Amino acid sequence: MEESTEEPVGLVERVCAIDIGKAGLVVCVRVPHDSKPGRRMQEVREYAATTPALLGLADWLHRQQVQLVAMEAVGSRRSGASTAHSGPCAAGRSTAVAVVAPDARRRWR
């Protein structure tokens, strides 16, 4: 079910994009720059598709104070983007998750 709101679209300050593969994930986090106002920093990491590695990923995202995680939904029957709100992670904080269908990602470029 798609939900629309009248809220203005804004920039998410602390965001993460995850490319999910069979053997692992490539994760990119973009956050505001520490010393250059108005600029952003980006870090890309790779994680194995194992429970310990994914727990490490969750810990890193928590330390980075990520507000939104976008993941590509390959093979999904969804079109466009849908948003779900995850439950609290191990650290007790919730993060919004957007699942993006591959065709929608191409339209946003």
Within a domain: residue 10? no
Residue-number span of the structural domain to which 34 is assigned: 15-107
- Whole-number pLDDT of residue 103: 58
Within a domain: residue 81? yes
Name residue 24's beta-bridge partners.
Answer: 48
How many domains does the chain fold into? 1
Encode pLDDT of 40-79 as tens digits. 999 999 999 899 999 999 999 999 999 999 887 665 443 3
Within a domain: residue 5? no
Within a domain: residue 54? yes
Global pTM value: 0.66
The tokens of 79 are what?
A: 């079109």
Mean pLDDT of 20-48: 91
SS3 29: strand
pLDDT class of 26 with cuts at 50, 70, 90? very high
Distances (CA, A) of 76 to 3, 7, 82, 104: 19, 27, 11, 11
Within a domain: residue 3? no
- Whole-number pLDDT of residue 100: 62
Within a domain: residue 83? yes
Within a domain: residue 51? yes
